[in-house]
Structure 1
Amino acid sequence: MAALEVDIDNFDTLVLGESHHRLVVLDISAQWCGPCNILEPIINSVSLEYDEKQFLLTKIEAEDENMKIAGRYGVRGFPTVIAFINGQEVDRFHSAQTANFVREFIDDNLDKNS
């Protein structure tokens, strides 16, 4: 599954609201960010291994009004990936990571949501 693009206008519905039904993983990144460009294909590829009913992969570009979301969650660098369950942040990681790391992150948070 490719990441669902979100922005400040639909964040509460598509990330927080949806996290009451399944795990939501939010990738906060910026186009100019090298590690973001490394992580994006990795996280998209790993997400294909899962059923969309298990979790939703979302992405927000940290620019303009969307920076308010990064600020709300105290993001200090990009990329930052945050897991949400029941409207709350339950986990996060920073920077580019390996496919195995991303898979373990998703699996650990799916376990929290069961």
Structure 2
Amino acid sequence: MTIKNNLQEFIFNVDYEDFEARVIEASRTQPVLVDLWAEWCAPCRVIAPTLERVIAERLPALRLAKVEVDEGENMKLAGHYRVRGFPTLLLFAGGEERARFSGNRPRHFIHEWLDRHLG
């Protein structure tokens, strides 16, 4: 199986209706990084390939759930988690939020941040 095929398994879209199952419950067995983003957000578009690369470099230890906040009821998730700007990255492990950051960040920052919060 190629890395590209693996990425399709480890990077996925999620919405309000399946967030509980695909993020909260799934994080009980494997950490899930959540990318809350918007189509109109330039920093969101810039960080997206960086996040894909980070996930590829950490296969199979981490998954990335992408939430487009302007679709359907997804903005409720941004409100629930008190998101103030986009992109916002939330790290879930053990069924709860462990850490977050906002804005575009370089790959090395994301790796260090993950190492700090996942141990």
Q: Structure 2 counterpart of 1:31, which letter?
A: E
Identity %: 36
TM-score w.r.t. structure 1 length? 0.91
User: Could you tell me which residue of structure 2 aligns to residue 5 of structure 1?
Assistant: 13
Structural mapping, 1:4-83, within 5 Å: 4-52=12-60, 54-63=61-70, 64-83=72-91
Counterpart of 1:94 (choices 79, 97, 102) is 102
Task: Please report how far the alpha carbon of residue 109 of structure 1 lies from its aligned counterpart in structure 2 after TM superposition.
Answer: 2.7
Q: Distance in 2 between matches of 1:108 and 1:6?
A: 25
Task: Please report how far the alpha carbon of residue 78 of structure 1 lies from its aligned counterpart in structure 2 after TM superposition.
Answer: 0.1
Relative to its length, the structure with more helix (as a share) is: 2
Q: Distance in 1 between matches of 2:46 and 2:59?
A: 23
Task: Please report how far the alpha carbon of residue 46 of structure 1 lies from its aligned counterpart in structure 2 after TM superposition.
Answer: 1.3
Q: Tell me how large the CA RMSD over aligned residues is.
A: 1.1
Q: Distance in 2 between matches of 1:39 and 1:57?
A: 13
Structure 2 SS opposite 1:4:
strand
TM-score w.r.t. structure 2 length? 0.87
Unpaired runs of at least 5, structure 2:
1-6
- Work out the number of aligned pairs and report it: 110
